[in-house]
Every structure is written in structure tokens, then in C-alpha cells.
Amino acid sequence: MSHSEETRPLIFITNDDGIGSPGLRAVAEVLAPMGDLLIVAPKQQQTGAGRSFPPGLWEFEPQEITLSNGTVLPAYAINSSPAQAVRGGIKLLAGRTPDLLVSGINYGENMGVGVTISGTVGAAIEGVAAGVPGLAVSLETDIHHHLVHSDEVDFSVAAFFAHIFAEMMLKLSLPPHTDLLKLDVPMEATADTPWRITRLSRQNYFSSTVEEWDGVRRFNGYRRDVDMETLEADSDIYAIMVDKVVSLTPMTIDLTAQSDFAALAEEIRLSLRDKGSNAWPPSAWR
């Protein structure tokens, strides 16, 4: 995509860790020279919110984010989910359609089929639904860092890769059938760490842990839980866990199965006929 000298690209920045997250500040730091920033993020921790839209009033609170060079960027906190922050920001604050949405940098990697739980990815999906290409950025961290804004986590390398791919997305349109890119960076990565295109693993990656208290079983957290024997070598999980390279996963919001529709329809019709089903009128069998 191209921009005139008079119009800098508008980059929407959000996350699911909340407006005070150092990961949000780190990505704003590297994106500020590339365009005008609209920073809108949840007021509080929203990890695991997915693309949810819980009921309630959305109230924007003006904030400020100070960069390392002393530049103060305006920002907004909103008492909502990440997806609601995106919709509210685009509809009520942007003034024009953003050229790119960057969600992150998240405390903790988002991989496998569990990405639909991720508020980081959910925010990017909401942007895509509004016509804005998205980049969801996550850094592998220890689990005990997932819900806190720890200063022990260094986001500089993840921000480096976020800058590279955000710049690319501002210059080039994503290929057909690709709506957003999911970027996961290993915790020990450097600027020289290779990156590769991956697919979503069909494994969950995180599984819930259970405890028993006074005879009642309940969830008490989660852990990484990967079956290495069946883990796909071209997957995001394999890239991060095994090869320890940067994972870039092209994603689409079209959840339609890539099936042969005609063959599937015929198989269903034959099955219904064999069972004598009255579920469909005869006209549907022709």
C-alpha cells in the first residue's frame, strides 16, 4: 500500500495485557517513526478474552505513553475486551480507516488451536473484520509472567521483528486468503534468529491443570502440554519449541473448511436417503 507525503500511515496499536503493559510500550517505540499511532487498549488485564464482546458501557480514558526519547504519545484505556477496544477505537476515535493494526507485544506465546482464546489474536481478527490488516505479536515467556507486567521480560527482540513485519505490511498487500499475520518470538531469540512461515498446529499447546479441594475438583491454572510424537514439523509450536526460530503464521478469518462442497453435499444426501431422514424436503435432494 502506498501513502502520499502528506499522509502518514495510521497504525492502530492494542493488546490484551492492558494499557500499562511494557510490551505495548515496546511496540509503540519501534512503530512511532513509521506513522501516526492510535493506541487503544483495555484498562485491565484481558488475557484469554479472545474476540469476546461482554455487555457493558465502553468508556475511554485518556492516557499517555512516554517513549525512551521523552516523546509522549496520547493513548486511550477502555473498560472492555481487546476486540471491543479495536471496534471502539476504529469507529469512535480513528477518523479514518487505519492502515495496519498491531496487537501486542503479548506476555506469552499464542500457538496451536488455542489461538481463538487469545485476546491478542482476537483483537487482530476484529481489526480484519473492519477491513484493517493485522499483526498479532507474542513473546514466549515463563508462564508466571503471563498475567503480570514484569520488568524482567525483555521485549526488544520481539519489537525488532514486529518492526520488520509491520514495515513490510505497510508497503505490500497481504496475499490472497491471508488476513493477518501471527508472529511468535522465542524467549532466547536475537536479531539474528531466523524466521519461517508456519501453520497453526492442531494441538492445544496449553492445557488446564486440575486440583481437588475438599472433595471438589476445579481448574487451578494451565501448563504447556505438547505431544512431541505427533507435533507437526511445519507448525508454529514446532518452530518455537523445537527449532527455536521466529514463527510467522498467515491466518484468515474465513473459517470455512476447504472441502469439496459438491462431494460433501452428495455424501450427506446419500446418508440421509439411506436413513430415511425427513430432515430435508425432497426438493433438496435433486
Task: Report if residue 92 sits inside a domain.
Answer: yes
Task: Report if residue 215 sits inside a domain.
Answer: no
Phi, psi of 141 (to 5 degrees): -140, 165
Q: Judge if 62 and 99 occupy the same domain.
A: yes
Q: Check: CB of residue 70 under 8 Å from CB of residue 42.
A: no
Query: 190: closest CA among 161, 230, 165, 152?
Result: 161
Q: Judge if 284 and 241 occupy the same domain.
A: no
Structural domain tally of the chain?
A: 2
Beta bridge partners of 183: 137, 248
* Distance (Å, whole) CA 227 – CA 229: 6
Q: Judge if 19 and 116 occupy the same domain.
A: yes
Query: 203: closest CA among 181, 225, 223, 234?
Result: 225
Q: Which three cell numbers stand for residue 196?
A: 519461517
Task: Report if residue 127 sits inside a domain.
Answer: yes
In the chain, pLDDT over 70 holds for what percent of residues?
94
Confidence tier at 5 by pLDDT (50, 70, 90): very low
Give the C-alpha distances (Å, rounded to integers) separating 260 from 68, 80, 153, 266. Answer: 54, 40, 46, 10
Domain CATH for 198: 3.40.1210.10
Task: Report if residue 130 sits inside a domain.
Answer: yes
Query: 65: closest CA among 38, 99, 86?
Result: 38
Q: Judge if 138 and 278 occupy the same domain.
A: no
How much is the average pLDDT of 118-138? 98
Task: Report if residue 218 sits inside a domain.
Answer: no
pLDDT computed for residue 221 by the predictor? 87
Give the C-alpha distances (Å, rounded to integers) separating 216 from 136, 208, 220, 238. Answer: 38, 16, 12, 36
Q: Is 87 exposed, middle or buried (0-12, 13-18, 19+ CB in 10 A)?
A: buried
pLDDT computed for residue 7 by the predictor? 86
pLDDT tens per residue across span 11-31: 999 999 999 999 999 999 999
Q: Judge if 114 and 242 occupy the same domain.
A: yes
Q: Which three cell numbers stand for residue 109?
A: 506465546
How much is the average pLDDT of 162-187? 97
Query: 164: closest CA among 177, 150, 181, 147?
Result: 181
Q: Judge if 139 and 278 occupy the same domain.
A: no
Residue 204 gets the label, from left (phi > 0), alpha (psi -120 to 50) or beta, of alpha
Q: Judge if 189 and 264 occupy the same domain.
A: no
- How many of the other CB atoms lie within 10 Å of CB of 122? 28
* Distance (Å, whole) CA 255 – CA 9: 29
Phi, psi of 161 (to 5 degrees): -70, -35
Task: Report if residue 225 sits inside a domain.
Answer: no
Question: Residue 276: is its pLDDT beyond 80?
Answer: no
Q: Check: CB of residue 137 under 8 Å from CB of residue 105.
A: yes
Exposure on the CB side of residue 35, measured as CA atoms within 13 A: 25
Q: How many residues does the chain have?
A: 286
Q: Judge if 72 and 178 occupy the same domain.
A: yes
Q: Judge if 200 and 261 occupy the same domain.
A: no
How much is the average pLDDT of 234-257? 98
Q: Measured over all CA atoms, what is the biggest interatomic distance in the chain, rounded to whole angstroms?
A: 74
Task: Report if residue 189 sits inside a domain.
Answer: yes
Q: Judge if 277 and 199 occupy the same domain.
A: no
Q: Judge if 150 and 264 occupy the same domain.
A: no
Question: Residue 261: is its pLDDT beyond 90?
Answer: yes
Q: Which three cell numbers stand for residue 220?
A: 487451578
pLDDT computed for residue 31 by the predictor? 99
| Residue with more model confidence, 40 or 281 | 40
* Distance (Å, whole) CA 81 – CA 98: 19
How much is the average pLDDT of 26-49? 97
How much is the average pLDDT of 172-179? 95
Cell 502440554 identifies what position? 225
Range of the domain at 271: 257-286
| Residue with more model confidence, 209 or 242 | 242
In the chain, pLDDT over 90 holds for what percent of residues?
86
Q: Judge if 141 and 164 occupy the same domain.
A: yes
Task: Report if residue 219 sits inside a domain.
Answer: no
